Amino acid sequence: MARSHNFNPGPAALPLAVLEEVQQELVDYAGNGLSVLEMSHRSPAFMAIYEKTEATLRSVLGIPENYDVLFLSGGATLEFAAVAMNLMRTGRAGYVASGHFSSVAMREGAKYGEAICLASSEESDYAHIPAVADVEAAIAREAEQGLDYVHICQNNTIYGTMWHELPDTGDVPLVADVSSCFLSLPLDVERYGVIYAGAQKNAGPAGVTVVICRHDLIAEGPALSICPSYLDWRRQTMQQSMLNTPNTFGIYVCGKVFQWVKDMGGLEAMEARNRKKAAMLYDVIDHSELFRGVASVQDRSIANVTFTTNIPELDREFVSEAADAGLIGLGGHRLVGGMRASIYNAVPKASVERLCGLMKEFEELHAGTSATE
Ligand SMILES: *Cc1c(COP(=O)(O)O)cnc(C)c1O
């Protein structure tokens, strides 16, 4: 069996051990005589899977009792709307535009109320995260007129930047799209009002969205009466994410990934591994005459490493040579070009070593063709 070195941004690499367990249980789950794919979501066997999945996530992430956990569908994209419809009580919320998804979230929020742009890094093509002090000053200014929440995207998957320090939002709940850094490192859940993530980056297969919300924020039901029942977090909480048929198989696989994270030593261990992998790549980039990093050094992501030669044909050649060598998913997002190595939890250090080696070989071969300023 030849498994690729998988640098896909999402859907992305899953731990081999999880895939093998799923394979083993696929036809007959735990002696039930049927597959998880064929089970009723209301059956005791599936409810046990659901409850274990939630309990494992709670223990891995340290989610306090007063936070609800949901496993929904529709991706982070549908939650952009859900955030606004559940939380926009005064009709005014703050957004930080630090990349593509945070800007999409802001535009989605603007459909349901006033979406104030607190800070943006668009003028640098989102190469950096807006300064925390500027964000905090904007929050202080805008909060006087009322802010229902402050929304950030904690790791900008496309640009390769991440928040290394969270803004202090005072009494205003912080809402974070953590899709591409969920389970990459510990999060202090109590710093947030709501955390949400599409599972396909780091937590499981596509089709599951994890939403973690502080209970008091949703206790009265959604802020907007037009909120579709499906997106009503309170109702979903009361029904254990089963207002309708959930993504049963996806939830089951997420549960296995959560358990894998736990068995591997939890989020501290994940963070240490991810930092080591990222440091290896940034070290090659920083010592290269050919490759340069795309993101500002102080805001570099530990999950998505963006780099380029500044010569589009050469970038394409690198991506294609890498693919020939079994390293896949390295093409940058179409908005940025260049290369992006997504090095989520399930990407082994050996794959990153292989990539570093390939970059050095490629540089030797193309010495002298540098366009680096
Ligand atoms: C991938 C991604 C999204 C989009 O997720 P979907 O699950 O496809 O809706 C949103 N935000 C971030 C940070 C992402 O990485």
d(CA 105, CA 28): 41
Residue 148 identity (one-letter amino acid): D
Give phi and psi for 283, each to the nearest 5. -65, -45
Give phi and psi for 308, each to the nearest 5. -155, 160
Q: Would you state the pLDDT for residue 212?
A: 98
Q: Would you state the pLDDT for residue 370?
A: 57
Does 10 reside within a domain?
no
Q: Which residue's CA lies nearest to atom 2 of ligand 1? A: 179
Q: Tell me, what DSSP letter sits at residue 213?
A: E
Does 258 reside within a domain?
yes
Tokens encoding 197? 């993530």
Q: Which residues line ligand 1 (CB under 6 A)?
A: 10, 75-77, 101, 153, 157, 177, 179-180, 198, 201
Q: Would you state the pLDDT for residue 373?
A: 46
Intervals of the chain under pLDDT 70: 1, 370-373
Q: What share of the chain is helix, strand, coil (3-state, %, to 5)?
A: 40, 15, 40
Within 10 angstroms of residue 267's Cβ, the number of other Cβ atoms is 20
Q: How far is the CA of 353 from the centre of ligand 1 (A)?
A: 27
Q: Would you state the pLDDT for residue 304?
A: 98
Q: Would you state the pLDDT for residue 169?
A: 97
Same domain, yes or no: 259 and 271 = no
Among candidate residues 238, 263, 288, the one where a domain is terminated? 263
Q: How far is the CA of 370 from the centre of ligand 1 (A)?
A: 34
Q: Which residue's CA lies nearest to atom 11 of ligand 1? A: 101
Q: Are 371 and 292 in contact (CB under 8 A)?
A: no
Handedness of CA 23, 27, 29, 31 (dihedral sign): negative
Paired with 116 in beta bridges are 94
Ligand 1 atom nearest to 199, measured from its CA? 7
Domain containing residue 116: 16-263
Does 8 reside within a domain?
no
Cα of first residue to Cα of last residue in the chain, in angstroms, is 43
Same domain, yes or no: 29 and 57 = yes
Q: Would you state the pLDDT for residue 1?
A: 67
Closest by CA to 267, choosing from 280, 258, 254, 276, is 258
Same domain, yes or no: 31 and 117 = yes
Number of domains the chain is built from: 2
Q: How far is the CA of 289 from the centre of ligand 1 (A)?
A: 33
Ligand 1 binding pocket mutation candidate from 73, 126, 177 (most atoms within 8 A of CB): 177
Q: How far is the CA of 96 from the centre of ligand 1 (A)?
A: 16
Same domain, yes or no: 228 and 199 = yes
Which domain CATH number covers 54?
A: 3.40.640.10
pTM greater than 0.85 (yes/no): yes
